[in-house]
A and B are shown apart, each in its own frame.
Chain A
Amino acid sequence: MIYRVLALGLAVLWPAVQGAPADERITVSAAVSLTDAMAEAAEAYSRTGHGVRFNFGASNVLARQIVSGAPVDVFVSADEVQMDVVAAAGLLKAGSRVPLLRNQLAIAVPGDRPRTFRSVREIADPAFKRIAIGDPAAVPAGVYAKAYLQKEGLWPAIEARIVPTGSVRAALAAVESGAADAAIVYRTDIRVSPKATVAWTVSASDGPRIVYPGAVIGTTKAAGEAQRFLDFLRSSVAIRIFERFGFTPYQ
């Protein structure tokens, strides 16, 4: 009986084993918010004859994996802080770190109660009883949101109404479902949401510097390939793809 189970397990697993040939492609850890844009960029890249293997996740998880020695060749983070973590561990290839993309914060409101702010101070309106943002202690978008509100002098007024969520996507979901009256998320997030609309976009000059950096990891065994991909992400082909998804290239 036990041998039948074992044989079955092996037989069932074999296709999955075969599906992963000795992989010559580089491994790119990228923030999960970049999933679709990266997938398309990689497709364009593959037409130059080179392949890429992605590992998507929350930037802090990705950084932790790299610091613990996971075999990653390129890291594209959703914020500088997580890239700094990897840098502090001495794992970035010297000189390879470059800012790739910019994003902007935006305030989202439920689609069935649309509003357009004439000034950001409208967020202090008591009608917004619950305002969701990514947890400022851990989520990059939340860190940015809090910094922005503090800079505008709005934080003390609305701090009590802030609902911290585990991810920026969760903050948006809170607004979509009506559980929150407003959320501070990335501009790129609201674009894909049918149930939320933009009340206010934080301009690049007013808002915090949201930069998505990329770098080659020092322990890579394919430094040339890694650098080639990183360079590709700054090419006009890649930039056009990212713009289509709502990101701004870093100038």
Chain B
Amino acid sequence: MEIWRITWFTVACAAAATALILPPGVVLAWLLARRKFPGRVLIETFVSLPLVMPPVATGLILLMLLSRRGTLGGVLERLGIEVVFTWKAVVLAMAIMGLPLLVRTARAGFEQVNARYERVAATLGASPARIFLTISLPLAWPSVLAGAVLAFARALGEFGATIMVAGSIPGATRTLSVAIYGYAETGQDAMALELLLVSVAIALAALWTANRLVERSAA
């Protein structure tokens, strides 16, 4: 019973995290692919940081920002919003770790769209927003989808940042990865293995579904 609860919770958070980063991530990927703007290199670097930093470090930064003593955390507390040690922190950690994967994959997709199509669309009277929605996005859709799947898979397996900012609270913030760690640490290898198998099964299912979707949209 507990296994299904933990699984359900993890998948739900990963899905929410992916849905959260999808709109801004895709727009950002397009901007980075097609537009030059001041601060572009800075933004590129920031977005990629979670990829190269140890996840625990990312988690620590989040914790410092969002806890009661942190800059953001203080504001949130006055608004009555709690993030640290709640499912919101889990979703946030997953989102931040998945964002660079989404942006980089989607951006490569946009860069592969022939710029000619976008230029002709402009001469036909389409504003940049319309070009993005009717030309760039549809043509780059397989890459966008692949990026979303990567981000989802990353979210499912996320551990280091999550455990730092969301803790390991049974029933409230314990994800599959965190639970596996807990069971392994207390010598309950049988449980750990069971959860591990569930993890792998979900990851396989997600990747399989995604590949079918990508194949179908590329056709």
Contacts and interface: CB of A to CB of B under 8 A. Distances in A.
Q: Are A and B in contact, CB atoms below 8 Å, in the complex? A: yes
B87 A17 contact: yes
A193 B187 contact: yes
Q: Which of B82, B85, B87, B167 has the most A CB atoms < 10 Å from its CB?
A: B167
Contact of A35 (B63, B86, B182): B182
Residue picked from B11, B19, B23, B163, most chain A C-beta under 10 Å: B19
B70 A19 contact: no
A180 to B, nearest CB: 16
A69 B9 contact: no
**Contact residue range for chain B?**
35 or more
Would you list the 8 A-B pairs with minimal beta carbon distance, nearest first? A69-B67, A9-B19, A69-B69, A55-B167, A192-B187, A68-B63, A13-B12, A69-B68
A110 B22 CA distance: 50
Nearest to B181: A32
- Where chain B touches its partner, the secondary structure class is helix
Contacts of B84: 69-71
Interface of B: 8-9, 11-13, 15-16, 18-20, 22-23, 60, 63-64, 67-70, 73, 82, 84-87, 163-164, 167-172, 182, 184-188
Given A27-B85, A55-B169, A36 B186 contact: yes
A210 interface: no
Nearest to A56: B168
Given A55-B169, A57-B168, A192-B186, A15 B63 contact: no
Contacts of A35: 182, 185-186
Interface in A153-173: 167, 169, 172
A15 B186 contact: no
Interface string A9-36: 1101101110110010001010011011
A32 B186 CA distance: 7
A8 B69 CA distance: 35
Contacts of A20: 86-87, 171-172
A64 B164 CA distance: 9
A189 interface: yes
A203 to B, nearest CB: 23
Contacts of B169: 27, 53-55
Contacts of B170: 39, 54, 56
Contact of A169 (B11, B13, B186): B186
